[in-house]
Structure 1
Amino acid sequence: MAFEPGTPQGAGALLTVSPEKTCFLDASDSSDVDEGLLDDLELNPFDGLPYSSRFYELVKQREKLPIWKTKYVFLESLVRSQIVVVSGGAKCGKSSQIPQWCAEYCLSVNNRHGTVVCTQVQKQTAVWLPMRVADEMDVNIGHEVGYVVPFENCCTNETILRLRSVSTDVLLAFLKDILLARPELKVVLITPPELSDKLLAYYGCVPLIQVEHPHSAEVVYAPCIQRDPFLAAIRLLFEIHHSQEKGDIVVFLACEQEIRRAFEMIHQESIHMNPALGELHPIPIYPHCSLPYYMPYDGLAHTGTGHRRNVVLTSSHGEALVWINNLHFVIDIGLERRKVFHSNLKSHKINTYPLSDYIMTFSTGKMFCLYPEEVTQTEMKIFLTPKVQESNLTSMVLFLKRMDIAGLGHCEFINRPDPESLMQALEDLDYLAALDNDGNLSEFGIIMSEFPLDPQLSKSILAACEFDCVHEMLTLAAMVTAPSCFLDSPMDTDDAKLRRRMKFLHPAGDHFTLINIYREYTQRRKNNIGLYIVERWCQDHLLDYTALETARVIRGELLDIMKRLELPVSEPAFGTDENVLNIKKSLLSGYFMQIARDVDGLGNYIMLIHKQVGQLHPDSGYFLNHIIPEWILFHEFSVADRSCIRIATEISPELFMQMVPQYYFSNLPPSESKQILEKASECRTTNAAAEDRSENQDTVTEEETSSAPEQRCLIQ
């Protein structure tokens, strides 16, 4: 977990403790309790039930953690101070033990509970960590310990310890004022040693608890920079396995694409491997997965046995998710690929950074760094730019506006966002009609803020209420919010991929193809044919079962929000021409800022708001069918090795001009595309005027025809 979004894995956390009383009962350290004073069955004060035998086993493991020696020093500091900073390296136990000690601090003598909230940046950590904590506390997940992440709330009113995924940069910006207003509130900041000075400077004179973490692991550096670090890591992995040295392996790769690629390569190689070497079991961990369907804890907490060797594949952000008792080898390529949002381009750029991480801080074994040691001092950074300084801030600004926090430029951020990005976010919200003339949230913006979605997508859902296509738009919103449902197979050509997906492709565009896929998937689930068969069906069509299941959960949560807000939900009408047009209108209501035009008939699309050029993603139905629509609305544009446009749907210039806010269009820079749209608008205006004149003439003629006999009758 990360104290700031820009820091890598395991960097820290923020805990807020709101005790009803300051009495502390030591519920976990049974070694310090006089057994003669206890009954035969010691009761867990959190749920009133006897401790299980597993609890005592886990206590012995917890006592070996470096953080354990600081327990009572920490508790004394928590009693005396409102803010406590805990500094320690990775794997010292701070992420799992500190929340439990805070919960124990909140436990009163009459078994009434205060509340402990632990914030995490990554959703995966906010789900995995409470599972582990609940296991160590000997309580049930979802009762005494729970978590809250977008689209999932695993808590009750009785939950003592809650973990949430939030932006700690935003939270810390206002924490000083909150602490002044609530003296009973206590805050614990968990951080790596490299950030402790920055926190102390930000908060002033507060207690600092430093965790000593001796390391005896052997570190081996490469003699030179690797031409292909990924392949070098895979080769070293197989060399270790063939050496038959015992122990599990963790490989830190640059990105999720490399994780998937490595998983496939290891899986294929394992099929042809000598059985005498033992089973090589790859376990991919994707730290940025939107929802917690990749659950590493159950599969990794146990010690490897027999001839099975676990190989955990993750990126630097996934370090906090790795918990293997039998870990003996770590392979680090020293690189990280991450998305950086460019507000002026409204697109993401994939950058590769040399990253000297602190993932080597484990106590035994070997750490293989696939880069020279001198590179760590000359080129590598321990921490990268905080994400708040390189992310799309529109959602964050909408949240702050909803919290009635004004003057964003004057907020005391520990990592100040780019002022230009803040202004761009405010401008985008204004275009989306989320702000009123005074710059405050409009009624429309208040409703938009109720959805844990990108504001453009929230606007499209609300527009669907007007265009009577909410049912389809909720499905589409879930599909674009979940991870991509498309899988890549290196064995398949584009033609083979087209054959597998032909039944889903919709002529109206990729957005409609996603709706087709979701409808087919949910229909198969309803048929009760068994999850194994459904998963097999997904594999046969190169679809990701986990992503589709995630989309199903997200859609259910969005539907609950619609009902809570008493917003209308239309009946299904997918497939009719009117429904297709209404879905496009709804999409344009939110995504009018994401329009591109093919400039040469070859699929080179130029963005309407700037001069960047991109091509359709290989997963696009247009790409597979070799169709090149002239004008498209797209969901995402990423500037990478090959500038890709993801999820595109054809639109007409006339429809765009019908839906676009005029003050947005007037602010667009001059371009050939803008001239074409202006002409389309003029033609639309001319045609509309002609139709009005024709209708008026028809009305006059009808009136003259109907009134003539009456006049003649009167004359007679």
Structure 2
Amino acid sequence: MELELSTDGEELSETSETQDIDTDDLLELNQFDGLPFSSRYYKLLNERKGLPVWGAKCEFMDSLMSSQVVIVTGTAKTGGRGGVKDYLCSALRLALEIHQNQKHGDIVTFLATEQEIECAHAILRREGANLALSHGELVPVSLCPAQGDSLSVLSEGSKSRRVFLTCSPSEDLFWAVHSIRFVIDAGVQKRYVYNPRIRANSIVIRPISKSQAESRKQLAGPTGKCFCLYQEDTPLPAENIPHILESDITSTVLFLKRMEIAGLSHCDFIDRPGEIHFLYSLSNLYKFQ
């Protein structure tokens, strides 16, 4: 019996050692390509675990899972390459302060992207519901360039205070709204810039022009206020770069060719694109011949 017990004990020991070896041999696989993680991955993982922000990861993930909106604030250049500008938070804070402290007048807020408008709309809708009993109803209204019918939401006669959220580079839509008393201007805009070398568009966030800034200030009227979320000495371009200089002109070149205008170099453009745009546009057309 003792011999059999010792044999069973040795077999159990060998089995556990085998299981440990098999466990050590198992490699964690990357879910995107199905390949094992490299040694560099584990090196970077250990370095990130040593960062102070790693300790707040669990708390942040819990907030992210339990809340619809999570606002993360920080000073300028927080996070280095991944830092997020805080003019959106400043715009929302201003809109809420105006609603609490000013009696009458709608608000127009100029942001840069549609994503910022969606985020701002959700936050103002939630915070406005909390302030409805004490300060009246606050109604956020999203207006994007791609939106079709905008006149219906701009109609007069609303008893509540409206906050118009727009990323349109033009303010012409709001000149007919006489109830606007406050303007919040982030001072930036989104532009699509075409690179003919790689034949692709890229999204670029740029400052608005001086003419845009002045027009937005006048939108508040003589009795209103305009809040500029940029420093007064910020250098702004006099005018925006014409879209034809930053767009794919292949369709334009094709139209000129169909009109039998062969000498493109002799065409009089109000704003003439660079020669490289013509060369790459012609090369694209030659591929279809």
Query: Could you say what secondary structure the match of 2:236 adopts?
Result: coil
Are positions 1:311 and 2:167 aligned together?
A: no
With normalisation by structure 1, the TM-score equals 0.27
Q: Deviations over 1:284-303 (max 9, x none)?
A: 1112x1xxx53111221314
Q: Which residue of 2 aligns with 1:414?
A: 270
Q: Give the Å deviation of 1:316.
A: 4.5
Instruction: Report 1:101-500 matches (<5 A).
Output: 228-287=86-145, 289=146, 293-304=147-158, 306=159, 308-322=160-174, 323-355=176-208, 356=210, 357=212, 358-362=215-219, 363-364=221-222, 365-375=224-234, 379-433=235-289
Q: Give the Å deviation of 1:410.
A: 1.6
With normalisation by structure 2, the TM-score equals 0.64
Q: Is the 8 A contact 2:144 2:168 kept in 1?
A: no
- Mark the CA change 1:402 to 1:301 in structure 2 (over 3 Å): closer, same or farther: farther
Give the counterpart letter for 2:97 in structure 1: E
Q: Distance in 2 between matches of 1:428 and 1:236?
A: 49
Q: Is the 8 A contact 1:331 1:369 kept in 2?
A: yes
- Mark the CA change 1:274 to 1:401 in structure 2 (over 3 Å): closer, same or farther: same
Q: Give the Å deviation of 1:326.
A: 0.3
- Mark the CA change 1:286 to 1:316 in structure 2 (over 3 Å): closer, same or farther: closer
Q: Distance in 1 between matches of 2:192 and 2:227?
A: 26
Q: Is the 8 A contact 2:169 2:189 kept in 1?
A: no
Give the counterpart letter for 2:225 in structure 1: K
Q: Is the 8 A contact 1:285 1:294 kept in 2?
A: no
Q: Deviations over 1:550-591 (max 9, x none)?
A: xxxxxxxxxxxxxxxxxxxxxxxxxxxxxxxxxxxxxxxxxx
Q: Which one has more relative contact order, counting CA pairs under 8 Å at least 6 apart?
A: 2
Query: Could you say what secondary structure the match of 2:151 adopts?
Result: helix
Q: Distance in 2 between matches of 1:257 and 1:338?
A: 14
Q: Is the 8 A contact 1:393 1:421 kept in 2?
A: yes
Q: Which residue of 1 aligns with 2:55?
A: none
Q: Percentage identity across aligned positions?
A: 37
Q: Give the Å deviation of 1:385.
A: 1.3
Aligned residues: CA RMSD: 2.2
Q: Distance in 1 between matches of 2:170 and 2:119?
A: 17
Q: Give the Å deviation of 1:232.
A: 0.8
Q: Give the Å deviation of 1:419.
A: 1.2
Q: Distance in 2 between matches of 1:374 and 1:418?
A: 32
Q: Is the 8 A contact 1:244 1:277 kept in 2?
A: no
Aligned residues: 201
Q: Distance in 1 between matches of 2:190 and 2:252?
A: 23
Give the counterpart letter for 2:205 in structure 1: T
Q: Distance in 2 between matches of 1:382 and 1:268?
A: 38
Q: Deviations over 1:355-374 (max 9, x none)?
A: 24222223331111111212
Q: Give the Å deviation of 1:409.
A: 2.0
Q: Distance in 1 between matches of 2:239 and 2:139?
A: 31
Q: Deviations over 1:173-214 (max 9, x none)?
A: xxxxxxxxxxxxxxxxxxxxxxxxxxxxxxxxxxxxxxxxxx
Q: Give the Å deviation of 1:317.
A: 1.7
Q: Distance in 2 between matches of 1:417 and 1:231?
A: 38
Query: Could you say what secondary structure the match of 2:240 adopts?
Result: coil
Runs of 4 or more consecutive aligned structure 1 residues displaced over 6 Å after TM superposition: none
Query: Could you say what secondary structure the match of 1:374 adopts?
Result: coil
Q: Give the Å deviation of 1:389.
A: 0.6
Q: Give the Å deviation of 1:278.
A: 1.6
- Mark the CA change 1:227 to 1:317 in structure 2 (over 3 Å): closer, same or farther: closer
Give the counterpart letter for 2:267 in structure 1: C
- Mark the CA change 1:253 to 1:280 in structure 2 (over 3 Å): closer, same or farther: same
Q: Is the 8 A contact 1:303 1:325 kept in 2?
A: no
Q: Distance in 2 between matches of 1:418 and 1:259?
A: 34
Q: Is the 8 A contact 1:233 1:331 kept in 2?
A: yes
Give the counterpart letter for 1:403 in structure 2: M
Q: Is the 8 A contact 2:129 2:138 kept in 1?
A: no
Q: Distance in 1 between matches of 2:259 and 2:115?
A: 37
Q: Give the Å deviation of 1:413.
A: 0.9
Q: Is the 8 A contact 2:106 2:181 kept in 1?
A: yes
Query: Could you say what secondary structure the match of 1:273 adopts?
Result: helix
Q: Give the Å deviation of 1:227.
A: 5.2
Query: Could you say what secondary structure the match of 1:384 adopts?
Result: coil
Q: Give the Å deviation of 1:244.
A: 3.7
Q: Is the 8 A contact 2:154 2:177 kept in 1?
A: yes
Structure 1 residue ranges without an equivalent (≥5): 1-223, 434-716
Q: Deviations over 1:358-402 (max 9, x none)?
A: 222233311111112122xxx211322111011111122222223
